[in-house]
Amino acid sequence: MRVQICAVGRLRNGPERDLYKDYLTRFDRTGRALALGPAQLIEVEDKKGGGMLAEAALLQRAIPDGALVCTLDERGRVMSSPDFARLLGTWRDQGRQDVSFVIGGADGIDPALRETADTSLSFGKMVWPHMLVRVMLAEQLYRAASILAGGPYHRT
Structure confidence at residue 117 (pLDDT): 97
CA distance 87 to 143: 13
d(CA 9, CA 20): 14
Whole-structure pTM value: 0.94
Domains and CATH numbers, the chain: 2-149 (3.40.1280.10)
Distance from C-alpha of 45 to C-alpha of 38, rounded to nearest angstrom: 23
Q: Give whole-number Cα distances, 81 to 64, 91, 105, 146, 156, in Å.
A: 26, 15, 24, 10, 10
Query: Where is 20: in which H helix or E strand?
Result: helix 15-32
Determine the pLDDT at residue 156. 54
Each residue's pLDDT tens digit in the chain (156 positions)?
999 999 999 988 999 999 999 999 999 999 999 999 999 999 999 888 888 999 999 999 999 999 999 999 999 999 999 999 999 999 999 999 999 999 999 889 999 999 999 999 999 988 888 889 999 999 999 999 999 999 887 665
